[in-house]
Amino acid sequence: MCGIAGGTRFNSDVSLNDDIMIKMLARIRHRGPDEWGIYNSENVSLGNVRLSIIDINTGQQPLSNSKSNIWIAYNGEVFNYIELRKELENKGYKFKTKSDTEVIVLMYEEYGIDFINRLNGQFAFSIWDKRTQELILVRDRLGIRPLFYTNNNGNIYFASEIKSLFEHPKINAKLSSQSLFQTFTFWTTISPNTAFENIFEIPAGHYMIFSKKKQEIKQYWDLNFPKKNLHSQLSFEEATDEFKVLLEDSVRIRLRADVPVAAYLSGGIDSTITTSLIRNIVPDLLQTFSIGFNDKDYDESKYQNLASEYFKTNHTGFKINNSEIADVFPEVIWHSEMPLLRTSPAPMFSLSKKVRENNIKVVITGEGADELLAGYNIFKETKIRHFWANQANSKYRPLLLKKLYPYIPQLQSANSSILKLFFGYKLSETNLPTYSHLLRWNNGNHIKKYFSQNIINETLNYNPAQELNDKLKDKFKDYDNLSKAQWLETKIFMSGYLLSSQGDRMAMANSVEGRYPFLDYRLVEFCTSLNPDFKLKGLDEKYLLKKAFENKIPKQIFQRPKQAYRAPIKNSFISENSNDYIKSVLNQNTIKNQGIFDSDKVRVLLEKLKSNKESSETEDMALTAILSTSLLYDLFINNEGYKKNIDTKNCKIINDFSK
């Protein structure tokens, strides 16, 4: 795994010199501390910082084909590179390395841009084609690896992280009011937007071709579900067997590495199953890692230890307390590069740090199973709300919702009227494409009331949820209810938040690569084709996964109630001994000067939270949103983050100014 950065010089951009390129790369050196290099030609510079995992001795980048007319800077892994290499060797290609990077270059030489459909992996890469004078930027199907860009005066600049782009003297940081509205609705921006004005991402499953004459972005893959009643005709038993074969192969190819591969154990079904499969494929001693909480309401250590003992892994588990979450939160925001509504990424940052301290570079995790197989409560909640909407005045139907959220005490004693306040938002508007997520997104409206008048004026009449409804109306018209919810959860929440702020950015902050067997595109396409009842049978989530592996993992884990991964919020930030930075960024003068939030409304919220009164879920989210946005402003707009020292020594530079 690595980081990349670069840009074009089509308009004689003399500012993209070695000094700037080195600074851009040095700023993301945490992504690749092992080696780094730059390729320069008349019209382009490509750079790479390398975390060496495959072909440690000869996989240095940037790298070219034998004719030196195709160059690549690459971040990621192509897990089927061994099979693709054999195919190319049969066509007469000779290799100078054993890396998957060289396979990509030669696949492009042989097949052109369509070769990306043959790749099974997680990647973001740049290719410079000297023959056509085109820069090509590619991102994997599900957006596991990030890739950002900006267009400035006819040139493109790109990088694995936004902070790298801000090292260019012509690129300035400014928060986007519209993006803030999107983030406080969806927990993320809608691709290709980012938190910053004029900074965009290559959307998942897309590539860009850029030259003097054109900037073209094309989609090569999308998440598609079959029309209602046109799902796969496989029986449940057949589907279960095929699913097991696909998942086992997905795990097998993700174990390919020239360094040890470890695994995360969260205490849930998904990571326990991936651990089980690893032990079957590689019976050697497996290292596993987990994080728990001193706050017992959030802790899953009991199940993590149970899984470790069952599979006899070499396990490292530790707990994080509330003050430690607060301590690392500024670094979390520095790496996430966006406002957050939850503290959940903070423990993941600490977990990857512990992994790196144990000299591990690669971990396998269970992300993706909940999205593919309807594991989240939002899918069951949607099913109940549809059922309830058929008899909107029923006193009994809303009571089903109590079963979903045992960790929200206010709901356990609630009657039908209270439940209607919690869950009745737009209950009868079941025809809306985004019906499944309206309730979650409406929570964001409670955060938006803290915006300053200036932000409100800039976003007057802007409704992100309505905008998305309008976009998806035609796409969703033939989808069943579960498929609509799964598309939204996968394409927006998983890609934009889970794989970013909790995934890539928290792992790579500590030079750790996460690998996700459930997100193998073959498995994704298979699961989307299935009968919805195979995934959510009644209110039994991940039904197919459970049946496929019911005898392979401990019964206590298999039978445990679903527990959402969460981390403490209020008790992390509000206490007598609150961290000094919290007092600074939530100071009334700071809030006023930044101009994003109404300082009086923020003061009232803080006074309530400090009074030891019980806070609501939305108030906790508002606190996180305000704190994280204020930190983001401080780190990027006030440039506090750029005061961190960067090492600019020993970067290898290849100059190629031949025609």
pLDDT in tens, 324-349: 999 999 999 999 999 999 999 999 99
Task: Tell whether 246 and 132 lie within a shared domain.
Answer: no
pLDDT tens digit sequence for 461-496: 899 999 999 999 999 999 999 999 999 999 999 999
Contact in structure between 145 and 122 (CB atoms under 8 Å):
yes
- Rounded to whole angstroms, the Cα distance separating 487 from 507 reads 25
Alpha carbon distance 82, 78 (integer Å) = 9
Q: What is the pLDDT of residues 286-325, one digit of tens each?
A: 999 999 999 988 999 999 999 999 999 999 999 999 999 9
In this structure, of 126-130, 403-407, 518-522, 570-574, the range with the lowest mean pLDDT score is 403-407
Greatest Cα-to-Cα distance within the chain, rounded to the nearest angstrom: 77
In angstroms, the Cα distances linking 530 to 232, 549, 616 are 5, 18, 38
Q: Which two tokens stand for residue 153?
A: 């005066």
Percentage, residues of the chain above pLDDT 70: 99
Cβ contact 107:88 at 8 Å = yes
pLDDT for residue 173 is more than 70: yes
Beta bridge partners of 291: 318
Same domain, 123 and 56: yes
Domain boundary (544, 559, 574) is at 559
The count of structural domains within the chain is 2
Q: Give the contacts of 376 (CB within 8 A, at least 6 positions apart).
A: 370, 489, 541, 564
Chain mean pLDDT for the chain: 94
- Can you give the CATH number for the domain in which 263 is found? 3.40.50.620
E strands in 480-543: 513-515
Spatial contact of 450 and 598, defined as CB atoms under 8 Å apart? yes
Which two three-digit tokens encode residue 462?
């802007």
Same-domain pairing of 282 and 199:
no
Residue with tokens 């290499």: 85
CA distances, 112 to each of 81, 107, 434 (Å): 17, 7, 38
Residue 256 has pLDDT above 80, yes or no: yes
Q: Could you tell me if residue 215 is inside a domain?
A: yes
- Average pLDDT of the segment spanning 86-109: 97
For residue 657, name the pLDDT band (cuts at 50, 70, 90): confident
Final residue belonging to a domain, choices 222, 248, 271: 222
Residue 1 pLDDT greater than 70, yes or no: no
Is the per-residue pLDDT at 612 higher than 80? no
Pair (144, 248) in one structural domain: no
Between vectors from CA 77 to CA 71 and to CA 83, what angle results, nearest 5°? 90
Spatial distance between the Cα atoms of 582 and 294, rounded to a whole number of angstroms: 21
pLDDT at 505: 98
Closest by CA to 181, choosing from 332, 330, 339, is 339
Distance CA 571, CA 610 (A): 10
pLDDT band of 25, cuts 50, 70, 90: very high
Closest CA to 201 of 138, 265, 264: 138
pLDDT(529) > 80: yes
Q: Hey, what are 234's tokens?
A: 């496989």
Predicted confidence band of residue 11 (pLDDT cuts 50, 70, 90): confident
Is the pLDDT score of 658 beyond 80? no
> What is the amino acid identity at position 384?
I
Please tell me what DSSP assigns to residue 413: T
The alpha carbon dihedral of 440, 445, 451, 453 has a sign of positive
Query: What's the mean pLDDT in 256-274?
Result: 96
pLDDT in tens, 220-241: 999 999 999 899 999 999 999 9
119 and 36 share one domain: yes
Q: Assess whether pLDDT exceeds 80 at residue 613.
A: no
Q: Is residue 419 included in any domain, yes or no? A: no
- The catalytic site residues sit at 2
**Alpha-carbon gap, residue 249 to 369, rounded angstroms:** 15
Residue 351's domain comprises 237-317+346-372+491-559
CB 334 within 8 A of CB 635: yes
> Is 169 in contact with 182 (CB distance < 8 Å)?
no
Region 505-515: mean pLDDT is: 98
Q: What pLDDT is recorded for position 576?
A: 79
Whether 114 has a pLDDT exceeding 90, the answer reads yes
* 296/366 same-domain check: yes
CATH of the domain at 203: 3.60.20.10
Rounded Cα gap, residues 108 and 90, in angstroms? 16
pLDDT on residue 634: 96
Is the domain of 308 the same as that of 363?
A: yes
What is the rounded CA–CA span in Å between residue 242 and residue 309? 29
Cα–Cα nearest to 146, from 165, 168, 173: 165
Do 296 and 208 share a domain, yes or no?
no
Q: Looking at residue 357, what is its pLDDT?
A: 97
Peptide bond into 62 cis (omega under 30): yes
Q: Are residues 135 and 248 in the same domain?
A: no
Q: Domain for residue 592, yes or no?
A: no
The backbone torsions φ and ψ at residue 480, rounded to the nearest 5 degrees and listed phi first, read -75, 170
Q: What are the helix (H) ranges across 44-201?
A: 81-90, 100-111, 162-165, 177-186
Are 630 and 591 spatial neighbours (Cβ–Cβ below 8 Å)?
Answer: yes
CA 135, 41, 123, 379 torsion-angle sign: negative
How far apart are alpha carbons 630 and 607 in whole angstroms? 18
CA distances from 446 to 220, 427, 428, 615 (A): 38, 18, 21, 13
The whole-number pLDDT of residue 13 equals 58
In a domain, 47, yes or no: yes
Q: Residue 621: which of 412, 367, 449 has the closest Cα?
A: 449
Query: DSSP for 316-367?
Result: EEEEE-HHHHHHHHHHHHHHH-S--S-STHHHHHHHHHHHHHTT--EEE--T
How far apart CA 101 and CA 108 sit, in angstroms, is 11
* Phi and psi torsions of 640, nearest 5°: -65, -35
Higher-pLDDT residue of 417 and 380 is 380
Is 103 inside a domain boundary?
yes
Give the E-state strand segments of 510-569 in sequence order: 513-515
Query: Tokens 């019209």 belong to which residue?
Result: 43
Closest CA to 65 of 532, 557, 656: 656
Can you state the angle between helices 464-476 and 438-448, rounded to 10 degrees?
160
- pLDDT at residue 14, rounded to an integer: 63
CA distances to 227, 232, 242, 493 from 236, rounded to whole Å, are: 19, 10, 10, 28
Is residue 376 helix, strand or coil? coil
For the cut 70, the answer to whether the pLDDT of residue 245 exceeds it is yes
Residue 593 is encoded by which pair of tokens?
Answer: 């000067």
**Residue 241 covered by a domain:** yes
26 and 175 share one domain: yes
pLDDT at 616 over 80: yes
d(CA 571, CA 585): 17
Q: Degrees (nearest 5) of the Cα angle 368, 374, 377?
A: 105
Residue 22 located in a structural domain: yes
Residue 365 lies in a domain: yes
Q: Is residue 185 located within the same domain as residue 243?
A: no
Is residue 50 domain-shared with residue 110, that is, in the same domain? yes
Q: Are 374 and 518 in contact (CB under 8 A)?
A: no
pLDDT score of 659 more than 60: no
Domain boundary (559, 588, 611) is at 559
